[in-house]
Amino acid sequence: MAVRYLGAEVQRMEDPRLLTGHGRYVDDITMEGMLHAAFLRAPMAHAKIRSIDASRATALPGVHRVIAHADLGAKYSHRMNQLYPAPVIEQDKTQYPLAKDEVCYVGEAVAVVVADSRAIAEDALALIDVDYEALPAVVNIRTALDDDAPLAHADTTSNLMGKMRSSFGDIEDSFAKADHVFSAAFMQHRGGCHSMETRGVIARDDPWGDGLTLWTSAQSPYLIRRALATWLDESEERVRVIAPDVGGGFGPKAGFYPEEVAISLAARLMKCPVKWIEDRREHFVSTTTQRDQHWDLEVACTAEGKILGLRGKVTHENGAYVPYGILLPNSSLTPLPGAYSIPAIDVSVDIVFTNTVPNSPVRGAGRPCGIYAVERMVQVVSRELGIDPAEVRRRNYVRSDQMPYETGAKLRGGAPCIYDSGDYEALLEKALELSDYSSFKERQAAARAEGRYLGIGVSSCIEDTGMGPYEGTTVRVESSGKVAVRTGAASQGQGHHTMIAMIVAGNLGVKPEDILFESADTAKFSHGIGTIGSRVAANVGPSAHDAAFQVREKALKLAAEVLEASEADLDIEDGVVRVNGAPDLSISLGELAVQLTPMSAMRVPTGFDPVLEATSFDGSSGSPIACGSNVAEVEVDPGTGEVKVLRYSVAHDCGVMINPMVVRGQIVGGVVHGIGNALFERMIYDDQGQPLTMNYGEYLLPLASEMPRVDITHMETPSPLNSLGVKGAGEGGTIPAAAAIVAAIENALTDFGVVIDYYPVDPQMLTELIDAGAAQAAE
Amino acid sequence: MADTRDIELTVNGESHAANVETRTSLGDFLRHGLGLTGTHMGCEHGVCGACTVMVDGEAVRSCLMLAVQANGQEVTTVEGLAEDDGTLNALQAAFWKHHGLQCGFCTPGMLTSLTAFLRDNPDPSERDVREAISGNICRCTGYQGIVDAALDAAKTMQKGS
Ligand code: FES
Ligand code: FES
């Protein structure tokens, strides 16, 4: 059966609402009797709380209450739950919703003011007197494990949160038989969330009615429901979590935050709805970020550049608490062979505490770091052996005839990491062609003749997408003929409504505009997981496909009885079942739904359940591996260190594309995020743990004026792991970007022998490297 | 007691009289005073452009302007952009066609900024458009769809005029 809309550039159904100002984000929601909250946050990175005196704040007109840890009572005095427990976590430190007696990062919530308005609540913050006793803070991951390093938590003896290792193949043998061993050490820094909508929560507690309802700007309402119900020691049935329109997520909105607990408790204490909207300054200090990783690697290779092994050590910054378990370090290790067939790998990670905001995945999670590391080492091999970067890659790719290819690494949960499909070399060739790689040397020489420095950088990646185990969908035909489609997956702009409507409409034979789509409300669909790790298309896609197919089958079976025709002669188009060759014989899906779901004293047709509905949890039977090759062309001004990205070419394969327009949007947005990581985004702390970049003048995000046009070409290698052949597409733009940009900058500055060991690459760093290179050349 | 003033202003063609706190920003007044929540607050410090509205035809950051400063002026928000019959205007339609939005949070500010820009620059180059929205941050789209939409809308509007 043809899925008619699959692959069509359907304009998004969510857009007319958003284009006319009729979105409904958390801060757009108001309710009767609602109060407003503001959080008092720790001003020091590490301190004991000696006392809190809120009397002046409470006396301010319009303030209803100031709540600190001690006001919550014994029932609510425990730390937040660990969402992702793992045996390697040696110190499982989660925070209290409101700090108890110690604060461990600037921005940690200490108290919450509830007032008539947000402005009054913020006024009151200045009137709360907290007596802190400053403690030494640890900030630098390179020295955090030294014997004399300050401790991030007063009650521990080490800043080591845990250790991990990815190891496979015979690493000793690989290094013993190598013609060459090269090493490189580098730091990677990834910034924060910076969704244009900050976080925000409204809680309403109705103990005799609906229970506790939370509207929250989040990616994972079901995870929050479970975590909150567990924390409160209440039934999940009594906790409803709704993610309304969400203005971007990018990972940090996938967690469970102290504010979600504190605002729930505030609503419970105040017996009225309470709203909190994060301001941008708070976003910098209280929304989780990704930040530093230091890598120290060795690569073993043959004289021809065939890589035999990779080994080394990573230090991973965890921040002050462990809200996400080991998700980040783990997703840094998993992609380690990258797009290459590397027989042996042995890399271990020390995960260290610092007195900074807890870390979480940001677009791509650890994948951009793992891929950057592999790509750097490929670059080192290319440079040291004088082989073209594209050619080194050709010599090392996993070949399409090796698929499915088991890398040797393990996914989260211990399953082997298997590349299901793809042709990495063909993809590279497409990227090279798109970028006019073969004529670059001429462009470079012509530019040099004018005194301009151009450089080109290549980077390839794989992306493990579609993490299971499921994300279900219900499809139900209503008596009106409209089709209600519900799923748990929250959208933060990815166009789920359109994508799922296309799949259901095509499969069921209705118009996409007749689909009534609802998602991300735990009261509307039994169970979901969340929108993380490019998993929705490869999980909701198949479940929507299957549920629609089941409803179709049921409709055709009933229609065959009603129309006295053979099922094989029936077809559904625009919501009407027709008999082929007998155009007058027809019945609409709405009428079938009424027949199937009669009111009292009528008969339900024999052999049917009384609803024209189906629910499916069909998903992907493994992790579909998307892949891409990127080519960046830059110009560097050696006088100022300014980097301009002139061209950016992407060849990408995310399997069958449901809506190519949406895929392009994901890739371009992802690439720009990756360029931001490579060149701009830097969250700086001083050595006392004070954040120094707290607004968009100090912390730079990529702007339209600095971004190149991104050229994209696709391959569509269907994934064998799900019914649609799809793979995720949300992060494949970001993952390889930093490696391509950094390689291009080095290429532009070959004359100066510039080697970059840190990103974001800023003009000051570059001019220093250029000056050092020029001085060395002059000697 | 809070310091307040009486103001009168026109928003999307409708006149409003209100008593506002002097410290209330125009953006907060539009959102919470008038319920026009299409205008979004992204940074509240004048950099992201999400809160942009038009005041007497000029694109203005409503987080940096006080409501009292808008006294006697004419304000247009994203809710006032569509055609009178509710259909999308040329710029909105072009955003829809070119996938110029994902989460939609920066969109109102992009639309209002570009409305003022295209009125004054009916035939812009890609570079012009990129400079024009360099004060509007979008975290989702990578800007390409927005730029394509603006260029396409400029063509449509020129044909229409
Ligand atoms: S909210 Fe006004 S510029 Fe960001
Ligand atoms: S569409 Fe999300 S910030 Fe622009």
Do the domain assignments include residue A58? no
CB contact residues (below 8 A), chain B span 66-105, against chain A: 77-79, 81-82, 88, 92, 95-97, 99, 101-105
The reply to whether B129 touches chain A by the CB within 8 Å rule is yes
Confidence of residue B161 (pLDDT cuts 50, 70, 90): low
**Does any domain span residue A1?**
no
Report if residue A647 sits inside a domain.
yes
CB contact under 8 A, A247 and B40: yes
Residue A593 lies in a domain: yes
Residues A454 and A476 in one domain: no
- Distances from the Cα of A1 to the Cαs of A483, A485, A506, A509, A511, in angstroms? 20, 20, 9, 11, 16
Encoded amino acid at A391, one letter:
E
Average pLDDT, chain A: 95
Residue A89 CA to ligand 2 center (angstroms) comes to 36
Whether A665 and A725 share a structural domain:
yes
Residue ending a domain, choose from A577, A601, A616 = A616
The answer to whether residues A549 and A627 belong to one domain is no
Q: Where does a domain end: A595, A616, A637?
A: A616
CA–centroid distance, A742 to ligand 1, in Å, is 32
- Smallest CA-to-CA distance from A623 within A697, A552, A720 is with A720
| ∠ CA A551-A553-A554, rounded to 5° | 65
Q: Which domain holds residue A679?
A: 442-465+623-779
Q: Verify whether ligand 1 is closer than 6 Å to residue B30 (CB atom).
A: no
CATH code for the domain in which residue A474 is found: 3.30.365.10
B92–A20 C-beta distance less than 8 A: yes
Ligand nearest to the CA of residue B108, numbered in listed order: 2
Q: Are residues A674 and A756 in the same domain?
A: yes
Nearest residue on chain A to B95, alpha-carbon basis: A19
Residue A720: per-residue pLDDT: 95
Q: Are residues A655 and A506 in the same domain?
A: no
Domain membership of residue A114 (yes or no) is no
Ligand 1 atom with the smallest distance to the CA of B41 is 1
Beta-carbon separation of B142 and A703 below 8 A: no
Examine the domain organization and report whether A454 and A494 are in the same domain. no
Same domain, A578 and A634: no
Question: Do A629 and A720 fall within a single domain?
Answer: yes
Query: A480-493: b or e for each residue (b if 16 or more CB lie within 10 Å)?
Result: ebbbbbbbbbbbbb
Structural domain includes residue A764: yes
What are the structural domain ranges in chain B? 4-80, 90-160
One domain for residues A605 and A744: no
> Looking at residue A3, what is its pLDDT?
54
Q: What is the pLDDT of residue A236?
A: 95
Domain ends where: A569, A593, A616? A616
Residues A691 and A561 occupy one common structural domain: no
Cα-atom radius of gyration of chain B, to the nearest Å?
Answer: 16
Arithmetic mean of pLDDT, A12-32: 96
pLDDT (0 to 100) of residue B1: 57
Partners of A311 in beta bridges? A298, A346
Residue A483 has pLDDT above 70, yes or no: yes
How do residues A610-628 score in pLDDT, each as one tens digit? 899 999 998 999 899 999 9
Q: CATH number of the domain at B4-80, out of 3.40.50.11900, 3.10.20.30, 3.30.70.60, 3.30.420.40?
A: 3.10.20.30
Please tell me the total count of domains within chain A: 2
pLDDT digits 0-9 by tens, B38-47: 999 999 999 9
Report the percentage of chain A scoring pLDDT > 70.
99
Assigned CATH topology for domain B90-160: DNA polymerase; domain 1 (1.10.150)
What is the mean pLDDT of the segment spanning A62-80?
97
pTM metric for this prediction: 0.96
Give the pLDDT score at A1. 44
Same-domain pairing of A571 and A640: no
Answer whether A453's CB lies under 8 Å from A745's CB: no
- Test A703 with B137 for CB contact under 8 angstroms: yes
**What's the pLDDT tens digit per position in A506-526?**
999 999 999 999 999 999 998
My answer on whether A656 and A565 are in the same domain is: no
Is residue A433 included in any domain, yes or no? Answer: no
Poorest-confidence range of A194-198, A464-468, A651-655? A464-468
Contact A710 B142 (CB under 8 A): yes
pLDDT in tens, A163-221: 999 999 999 999 999 999 999 999 999 999 999 999 999 999 998 888 999 999 999 99
| B58, pLDDT greater than 50 | yes
Contacts of A14 in chain B (CB under 8 A): 104
Chain A within 8 Å of B114 (Cβ-Cβ)? Answer: no
Interacting residues of A704 by C-beta distance below 8 A, sequence separation 6+: B129, B130, B131, B133, B134, B136, B138, B143, B146, B147
Rg, chain A, Cα only:
28
Query: Would you say residue A501 lies in a domain?
Result: yes
Q: What is the DSSP letter of A605?
A: P
pLDDT of residue A584: 87
